[in-house]
Amino acid sequence: MWKPSERLMETIRHYASFPATGVSLRQMVQFGDRPSTGTLFRASQFLSEELPIRLAHRVQDLGELPDGLSEMPSIKRVQDWYAQSFEEIITLPRPSLTQEVKARLLRPGRMNGGPSKILSETTQNPSVREGQYRSSVTAGNGNGVAKAHAAAGRRYFFPADDRGDWPPELNDYNQRFAKTLQQIKRRHDGVVTTVAQGILEWKRARQRMQIDSTIQSFLDRFYMSRIGIRMLIGQHIALTEQTHVKHPNYVGIICTKTNVRDIALEAIENARFVCEDYYGLFESPKVQLVCKEDLNFMYVPGHLSHMLFETLKNSLRAVVEQHGADKDDFPVTKVIVAEGKEDITIKISDEGGGIPRSSIPLVWTYMYTTVEQTPNLDPDFDKNDFKAPMAGFGYGLPISRLYARYFGGDLKLISMEGYGTDVYLHLNRLSSSSEPLQ
């Protein structure tokens, strides 16, 4: 099994002393659907510094957990994955370039009449309290390891001067970099389940019933950071591949015209299917959708599906359990989509009996669930994402809220005990807010 050397750990500590640099959704789409070799190379350069910084923070964080949690075998395993991925990026051989090519890479190119100033700025993420996450909101023009060559502009999106061909070494590096990222992404597929496993090991070893606020905020930070790292990696892989194939309305994994209605209908169908399957129902409780047909906005469809699927599963479970699985007529759950200037808000209202007020803080706690028997936590189970069949892991709500907050939205829950629950999913459509990072 791979283990980090003491020297590597030293390098990791050095990288961890630099803050991560937040990127906004808006900056991510500036690449357009066919970024040039030079522009991709500049983004690869940015990521080859930014990703190690983010990975290094996680290695440190995992090593400094309280109450012996860092010593749990599954936590150590995850820490090694982060260290190994860190090493793979920093040791990837860079191409040797002529002075001329280097100078050209530093020269800004012209994109639609020159780089847009407004788009390269980020604003404070409205869902994050100031100081909640330590991040530099420098819009990708930041400091980090590249302090020394700050003049070169450490920027995620930097349209390169594309007049004339680029030497083949650049494309070759881009391909190798994307391949390394693929490998890393796959390595980290099982992180959520393995960390959950680590928490269970710790609960057992230390006879703990509940996780405290230090561990809760560690998990928030850790999973939020994971969303960000996977976003940047997923985006970069997709952008590199897109130099060959063209998808209309897509820039990497971001869809500039995400249709809310289509995604909601699909999530409803999936949640109802899982519900029928789990309770052995002939027909799952119905869901009514109120949404304009042509409501489109810029978002990552995968994130939206995840949040809707998770909240709908919760509602359907509550409805069935409140009224009894043998009933043939359940109250309808309503999904209402509102379009504002700032937000698109989706309300999911069920008549599943609600949640007692004293339990509301608990629903945001990782591993809090009212399912009696937690399903088996097999790290190999559904490698792509952490999707429980119906319920029972206690991850659905807290992780969905992180997805919402990642792009400046939020998830709120209001319950009427004895009647039902309203979940409000706010999605920020201005998309200029910076990632909440640490």
Ligand X SMILES: Nc1ncnc2c1ncn2[C@@H]1O[C@H](COP(=O)(O)OP(=O)(O)OP(=O)(O)O)[C@@H](O)[C@H]1O
Catalytic residue IDs:
306, 310, 313-314
Q: Which stretch binds ligand X (CB under 6 A): 120-128, 270-278, 284-292, 367-375?
A: 367-375
> Cα–chain-centroid distance for residue 24?
13
The dihedral over CA atoms of 383, 393, 269, 229, expressed in degrees to the nearest 10, equals: -50
Binding mask of the shown chain, residues 378 to 417, with x at each position contacting Mg ion by CB under 5 A: -------------x----x---------------------
Min dist. Cβ of residue 209 to ligand X (A): 16
Alpha-carbon distances, residue 306 vs 37, 97, 182, 386 (angstroms): 33, 43, 22, 10
Residue 197 lies near ligand X (rule: CB under 6 A): no
Tokens 């796959």 belong to 186
**DSSP H helix total and E strand total for the chain:** 12, 8
Q: How far apart are CA 300 and CA 257, in angstroms?
A: 10
Distance CA 77, CA 397 (A): 26
How far is the CA of 182 from the CAs of 37, 176, 178, 222, 419, in angstroms? 19, 10, 6, 21, 47
392 is in the binding site of which of Mg ion, ligand X, none (Cβ under 5 to 8 A by kind)? ligand X
Told to check if 267 binds Mg ion by CB under 5 A, we report no
Q: What are phi and psi of 254, to 5 degrees?
A: -90, 135
Among 52, 396, 408, 409, binds ligand X (CB under 6 A): 396
- Binding mask of the shown chain, residues 12 to 51, with x at each position contacting ligand X by CB under 6 A: ----------------------------------------
Given the complex with Mg ion, which of 19 and 394 has the nearer CB atom?
394
Residue 394 interacts, among ligand X, Mg ion, none and using kind-specific CB cut-offs from 5 to 8 Å, with: ligand X
Q: Which residue is nearest to ligand X (CB)?
A: 396
H-assigned helices in 382-429: 396-406
Smallest CA-to-CA distance from 88 within 233, 198, 225 is with 233
Per CB under 5 A, the segment of 295-303, 312-320, 321-329, 335-343 that binds Mg ion is 312-320
Does the footprint of ligand X cover residue 332 (CB under 6 A)?
no
| Closer Cβ to ligand X, 59 or 319, answer by number | 319
Instruction: Report what 190 binds from ligand X, Mg ion, none; CB cut-off 5-8 Å by kind.
Output: none
Q: In sequence order, which ranges of 17-98 are alpha helices (DSSP H)?
A: 25-29, 37-63, 73-90
CB-based contact 63:158 (threshold 8 Å): no
Helices (H), 280-395: 301-323, 360-363
Q: At closest approach, how far in Å is the CB of 427 from ligand X?
A: 19
Contact region for ligand X (CB under 6 A) — 5-13, 133-141, 250-258, 312-320?
312-320
Residue 284 sits in the site that holds ligand X (CB under 6 A): no
Burial 109-136 (b: 16+ CB within 10 A, else e): bebeeebeeebbbbeebebbeeebbebb
Selected range binding Mg ion among 51-59, 279-287, 308-316, 378-386, rule: CB under 5 A: 308-316
Binding residue for ligand X (CB under 6 A) from 21, 45, 235, 314?
314
Using alpha carbons, select from 301, 312, 192 the residue that is nearest to residue 254.
Answer: 301
Contacted entry of Mg ion, ligand X, none for residue 393, CB cut-off 5 to 8 Å set by kind: ligand X
Residue 80: helix, strand or coil by DSSP?
Answer: helix
- Give the residue with the Cβ less far from ligand X, 96 or 358: 358
The stretch near ligand X (CB under 6 A) out of 56-64, 83-91, 124-132, 392-400 is 392-400
Query: What backbone phi and psi angles, to 5 degrees, belong to 117?
Result: -70, -45
Does 305 interact with ligand X (rule: CB under 6 A)?
no
Question: 105 or 318: whose CB is closer to ligand X?
Answer: 318
**Binding footprint of ligand X on the chain (CB under 6 A):** 310, 314-315, 318, 350, 352, 355, 363, 368-371, 388, 391-397, 421
